[in-house]
Amino acid sequence: MHHNEKEDTIVALATPPGIGAIGVIRLSGPQAISIANLVFKGKDLLAQASHTIHFGKVMDGKVVLDEVLVAVFVAPRSFTKENVVEISSHGSPYILQKIINLLISQGARLAKAGEFTKRAFMNGQFDLAQAEAVADLINADSEASHMAAMNQMRGGFSEKIKSLREELIHFASMIELELDFAEEDVEFADRDQLRALIISLQKEISLLIESFSLGNVIKNGVPTVIAGKPNAGKSTLLNTLLNEEKAIVSDIPGTTRDFIEDEIHINGISFRFIDTAGIREARDKIEALGIERTFAKMKAASVIIYLIDLLEETLEEILNEKEKLDALGIPYLFVGNKTDKVEAEQLEKLEIHFPDIILISAAKDQHIDHLKSRLTQLVHLDKFRTGDTIVTNIRHIESLTNTQKALDDTIEGIHRHVTGDFLAMDIRQSLHHLGEITGEITTEDLLGNIFSKFCIGK
Ligand SMILES: Nc1nc2c(ncn2[C@@H]2O[C@H](COP(=O)(O)OP(=O)(O)OP(=O)(O)O)[C@@H](O)[C@H]2O)c(=O)[nH]1
Ligand SMILES: [Mg+2]
Return d(Cα 210, Cα 38) in angstroms, integer. 54
Return d(Cα 382, Cα 376) in angstroms, integer. 8
Q: Do 18 and 93 touch, CB atoms closer than 8 A?
A: yes
Angle at CA of residue 185, ends 181 and 188, nearest 5°:
70
Nearest-atom number in ligand 1 for the CA of 248 is 16
234 in contact with ligand 1, CB cutoff 6 A: yes
Give residue 237 CA to ligand 2 midpoint distance, Å: 9
Query: 107: alpha, beta or left, given left = phi > 0 and alpha = psi -120 to 50?
Result: left
For ligand 1, mutation pick of 231, 287, 291 (most atoms within 8 Å of CB): 231
Give 4: exposed, middle or buried? Use CB within 10 Å, 0-12, 13-18, 19+: exposed
pLDDT band at 182 (very low <50, low <70, confident <90, very high): low
365 in contact with ligand 1, CB cutoff 6 A: no
Q: Which domains does the chain have, with CATH numbers?
A: 5-126 (3.30.1360.120), 133-216+391-451 (1.20.120.430), 222-383 (3.40.50.300)
pLDDT band at 374 (very low <50, low <70, confident <90, very high): very high
Nearest-atom number in ligand 1 for the CA of 278 is 25
Q: How many residues does the chain have?
A: 458
361 in contact with ligand 1, CB cutoff 6 A: yes
Residue 388, pLDDT > 80, answer: no
Of 333, 339, 347, the residue nearest 365 (C-alpha): 339
Give 410: exposed, middle or buried? Use CB within 10 Å, 0-12, 13-18, 19+: buried
**In sequence order, what are the residues at sequence separation of 6 or more whose Cβ sits closer than 8 angstroms to the Cβ of residue 101?**
none
Ligand 1 atom 11 nearest Cα? 251
CA 64 vs CA 13, 40, 54: distances in Å = 19, 10, 16
Give one DSSP letter per residue of 383-436, joined into a string.
Answer: HHHTT------HHHHHHHHHHHHHHHHHHHHHHTT--HHHHHHHHHHHHHHHHH
338 in contact with ligand 1, CB cutoff 6 A: yes
Return the biggest CA–CA distance within the chain. Answer: 88
**In sequence order, what are the residues at sequence separation of 6 or more whose Cβ sits closer than 8 angstroms to the Cβ of residue 17?**
93
Which protein residues have their CB within 5 A of the ion that is ligand 2? 234-235, 255-256
Q: What is the pLDDT of residues 86-138, one digit of tens each?
A: 999 999 999 999 999 999 999 999 999 999 999 999 999 999 999 888 888 88
Query: 394: alpha, beta or left, given left = phi > 0 and alpha = psi -120 to 50?
Result: alpha
255 in contact with ligand 1, CB cutoff 6 A: yes
pTM reported for the whole predicted model: 0.69
For ligand 1, mutation pick of 225, 235, 236, 306 (most atoms within 8 Å of CB): 236
Strand 332-337 and strand 303-309: pairing?
parallel
Nearest-atom number in ligand 1 for the CA of 229 is 25
Would you give the end-to-end CA distance of the chain in angstroms?
A: 29
Q: Minimum mean pLDDT among 176-190, 217-231, 315-329, 439-453: which range? A: 176-190
For residue 255, which ligand has an atom nearest its CA?
Answer: 1
Nearest-atom number in ligand 1 for the CA of 256 is 23
Mean pLDDT, the chain, rounded, equals: 90
Phi, psi of 17, deg, nearest 5 = -65, 155
